[in-house]
Amino acid sequence: MDPITASIVTALASGAAVAAKNLATEAIKDAYSGLKALIVDRYKKAAPFVEALESDPDSKATQEVLGNQLKGVEADADAKKGAAKLTDSVLELEKVPAAAAVLDFGTLKVAKNVLLEGIEYTGTLLRAKEADIQGDLTVKDIKLGTPGGTPPK
């Protein structure tokens, strides 16, 4: 597989992998959808292999077969541009700083009950070097969010 075709296939695989792990930002979803639609529309024989790649983005065999179905893609300026956009979006995900914790206390002293409810977070939700909670600590409807996605509430 030539280097340009390989970069396009790698971009598709990266987008599919990030989406499968529910880490995709809107930019990644948009770039992936655009590149996928372009490939499926212009390279009809590749369509089933794009679907197979979504099921197993890490499969080198599927990537190779998909690359073989993309005859002439190395000269397709739109495909190259779409792959570059998707790759850049995936790389941006790595630059998102991870918060140490949503609620980070040196010492936490609470004389009443504590309710943590309806929070979407990434990383660590609550960290305290020392905590003294005299009452109940209730945690409800807590969801692990995605880096670069919805910020914690």
Would you say residue 105 has pLDDT above 90?
no
- 15: amino acid identity, one letter: G
The widest CA-to-CA distance across the chain, in whole angstroms, is: 69
Predicted local distance difference test score (pLDDT) of residue 152: 40
Question: 15 or 102: which carries more pLDDT confidence?
Answer: 15
Distance between CA atoms of residues 141 and 49, nearest Å: 38
Q: Per-residue pLDDT for 135 more than 60?
A: yes
Three-state SS string across 10-74, please? HHHHHHHHHHHCCCCCHHHHHHHHHHHHHHHHHCHHHHHHHHHHHHCCCCHHHHHHHHHHCCCHH
For the chain, give the mean pLDDT: 84
What ranges do the domains of the chain cover? 3-95, 103-144
Calculate what percentage of the chain has a pLDDT beyond 70: 86
Highest mean pLDDT among 40-44, 96-100, 143-147, 148-152: 40-44
- pTM of the complete model: 0.62
| Model confidence pLDDT, tens digit, residues 56-68 | 999 999 999 999 9
Whether the pLDDT of residue 121 is over 80: the answer is no
